[in-house]
Amino acid sequence: MKAIIPTGGRGTRMQPITFSANKHFIPIANKPLIFYPIETVADAGIKDILITYNPGMLTMVKNFLGDGIEVCEKALGGDVFLMHNGDNIFTEGIRETVDYFLKEKPNGLVTMVHHKDNTRLGVPYFDENNRLVKYVEKPQNPPHDFAIPGLYFFDQNVFQCFKGDDKILPSERGELEISAPYQWLIDHGYRVEVIEYKGKWLDPGKFDDWLEANQYLLDKMADFKMESRISADSIAEDRVSLGKNSKITASRIKGPVIIGDNVEIKNSYIGPYASISSNCIVEKSHIQNSVIMSGVKIANVERQIDASIIGPGSELMNGGEPSSSLKLFIGEKSKIEI
């Protein structure tokens, strides 16, 4: 069995961070987002992974199921496969789902999760015998609270839906929806089954979801390492992970917190739920529930920094002189609350 992890798309809901970086490489709990699906797939026993990347305007679905289909079909070499969206996190792993697919051998397998707001996702529809009969993208009035996350299973029959007179066509949005291959398989008499994913599913596609995912993953982390020493006048309590060559002086760190390599923190209060990437400097500031990316400098900020994502190389500091004004250098689509 092989796996495909698509990493296309522009990540517009995470702008301005994604103006300069693919969202799949933005950290959550100090780990690039793409690492989570890679590790999940590998932990399920799948070693052959095809990562598709699209730096342009096409969506992930069109990149894989549309223009890239011939490349993917050849690379898969006739194997059954799964597709795990590069921006989804299945916190309890997917081995059970993989084992079910390999044992039962349906032509397609749809995963579903309970989700309150499923009007913005794909939704499965069932007949009176609980058999899947339809897969609808973003329905206005879903019949239940199930939604389909970014984990899809197929055998090689799926490639028939792109060939011949009855091949699938782009939707009104001009895209080949992921629902279309499943619907084609159902309509042509192939066996498509549904399995509920019982673990926690994270879809950090926008700002608030990113912070929620950061909180959840910090709570779930079991391996907190202290690879640097903190000074005698500092306190680290609860679960704190500290990288190599980092210095904590006259500060208090309240976990869960993860701090990268080569970080300097002085006279500050960090946590809970703060992720600080490598090569950052923090002085006389209070940070909690935030994601601080690499190379950031924060100094002398009197007010607490909370529920924030700060991009790499940014500087946030008090000018040092009393003033009733703010000095700002803000890029396109930035968000500032004062």
pLDDT at residue 76 in the model: 81
- Among residues 190, 218, 246, which one ends one of the domains? 218
Q: Does one domain contain both 111 and 193?
A: yes
Q: Indicate whether 323 belongs to any domain.
A: no
Over 90: is that where the pLDDT of 162 sits? no
Q: Is the pLDDT of residue 58 over 50?
A: no
State whether 71 and 192 are in the same domain.
yes
Q: What is the pLDDT of residues 199-211, one digit of tens each?
A: 999 988 888 889 9
Name the domain boundary from 196, 218, 240: 218
Residues 171 and 276 in one domain: no
Distance CA 87, CA 68 (A): 19
- Contacts for 185 with CB less than 8 Å, ≥ 6 apart: 107, 108, 157, 158, 161, 192
Query: Domains in the chain: how many in total?
Result: 2
Which one of 40-54, 117-131, 202-216, 252-266 scores highest in mean pLDDT? 252-266
Residue 119 lies in a domain: yes
Q: Is the pTM of this model over 0.75?
A: yes
Query: What percentage of residues in the chain have a pLDDT greater than 90?
Result: 55
**250: CATH:** 2.160.10.10
| Shared domain check, 289 and 140 | no
Is residue 31 in a domain?
Answer: yes
Q: DSSP secondary structure string, 147-170?
A: EB-SEEEE-GGGGGGGSSTT----
Residues 168 and 105 in one domain: yes
Residue 324, in any domain of the structure: no
In a domain, 328, yes or no: no
What's residue 62's pLDDT? Answer: 42
Confidence of residue 326 (pLDDT cuts 50, 70, 90): low
Question: Given the structure tokens 């006048």, which residue do they identify?
Answer: 233
Q: Are residues 9 and 137 in the same domain?
A: yes
What is the domain extent for residue 250?
222-317
CATH code at position 116: 3.90.550.10
Q: Domain end: 218, 242, 260, which one? A: 218
Range list of H helices, 19-112:
35-43, 60-61, 69-76, 95-104
Reply yes or no: is the peptide bond before residue 312 cis, omega within 30 of 0.
no
* pLDDT band of 122, cuts 50, 70, 90: confident
Assess whether 203 and 313 both reside in one domain: no
For residues 305 and 285, the answer to whether their CB atoms sit within 8 Å is yes
d(Cα 79, Cα 102) in Å, to the nearest integer?
A: 11
